[in-house]
């Protein structure tokens, strides 16, 4: 296997320094509020890494999402890097992975892991709760794994995410089918919120083996003006 060059931690973390949004971009007040609760951030990882690896979770999701060598991929809400390191291995030396999180302390630890594992195809960036701050027209796949229910401003976030995708790029969401305040997202609600911002669902699969569902979305048509976005109705209370 080709040897990887060391990835300087300071170079990786330098990407986190850029915190300003685009000049003239609409503020959050231009977007509708979400009619659903938001889960609190209680941990930087969904479950422990050995358990996820025993279920073959990342491999299942990457296979389903069609991740191939040479792709450019974003891992939003990367946390401790369970997906980041495996995406880096999958896309290989000619591919790129951008690991994003809103927690600087988490990114520092992840940067240390990336440098230790010599993953020189992985970069790190500090995002914002309402803006992933991704470069435009750059990504074949954008992953949001067990974190969508923590987004307080989904319409603003998804609107600002959309330009980062390549023309055939896709958003891959992994989440549990339960209410957002119980750290999941009902699939119908997820689909409604993404469709409101101009995405079309192109794939969906329940995967009990990894305790989640996987959904695939692609931009469709023009990105709507923030004021024209129609918020989804509040989800029905769970039975029982």
Taking alpha carbons only, the member of 191, 184, 186 closest to residue 220 is 191
Roughly what angle, to the nearest 10 degrees, separates helices 57-65 and 82-91? Answer: 50
DSSP string, 65-82: HT--TT-EEEEET-TT-H
- The domain in which residue 99 lies consists of 58-221
Q: Which residues contact 51 (CB under 8 A, 6 or more apart)?
A: none
pLDDT in tens, 92-135: 999 999 999 999 999 999 999 999 999 999 999 999 999 999 99
In a domain, 154, yes or no: yes
Domain of 188, CATH number, reads 3.40.50.150
**pLDDT of amino acid 235:** 80
In tens, the pLDDT along 25-40 reads 799 999 999 999 887 7
Structure tokens that stand for 43 in this block: 């941990």
Give the C-alpha separation, 180 to 81, whole Å.
23
User: Residue 11: its pLDDT value, please?
Assistant: 43
**pTM for the whole structure:** 0.87
- pLDDT tens figures, 68-81: 999 999 999 999 99
Domains held by the chain: number: 1
Q: Is residue 35 part of a domain?
A: no
Does residue 6 lie within any of the structural domains?
no
pLDDT for 190: 98
- The torsion angles phi and psi of 228, rounded to 5 degrees, stand at -95, -5
**Residue 78, domain member (yes or no):** yes
Q: What are the strands, taking DSSP E only, across the chain?
A: 72-76, 96-101, 122-126, 139-145, 165-175, 199-207, 212-219
């Amino acid at each position: 296997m080709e040897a990887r060059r060391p990835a300087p931690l300071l170079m990786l973390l330098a990407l986190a320094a850029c915190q300003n949004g685009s000049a003239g971009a609409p503020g959050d007040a231009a977007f509708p509020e979400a009619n659903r609760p938001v889960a609190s951030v209680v941990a930087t990882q969904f479950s422990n890494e050995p358990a996820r690896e025993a279920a073959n979770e990342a491999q299942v999701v990457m296979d389903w999402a069609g991740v191939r060598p040479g792709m450019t991929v974003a891992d939003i809400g990367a946390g401790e890097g369970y997906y980041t390191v495996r995406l880096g291995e999958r896309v290989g030396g000619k591919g790129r992975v951008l690991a994003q999180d809103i927690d600087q302390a988490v990114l520092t630890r992840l940067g240390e892991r990336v440098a230790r594992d010599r993953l020189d195809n992985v970069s790190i960036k500090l995002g914002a709760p309402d803006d992933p701050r991704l470069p435009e027209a750059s990504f074949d796949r954008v992953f949001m794994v067990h974190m969508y229910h923590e987004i307080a401003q989904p319409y603003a976030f998804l609107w600002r995410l959309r330009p980062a995708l390549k023309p055939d790029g896709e958003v891959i969401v992994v989440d549990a089918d339960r209410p957002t305040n119980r750290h999941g997202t009902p699939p119908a609600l997820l689909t409604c919120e993404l469709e409101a911002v101009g995405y079309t669902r192109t794939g969906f699969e329940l995967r009990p083996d990894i305790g989640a569902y996987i959904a695939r979305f692609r931009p469709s048509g023009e990105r709507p003006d923030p004021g024209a976005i129609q918020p989804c109705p509040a989800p029905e209370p769970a039975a029982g």
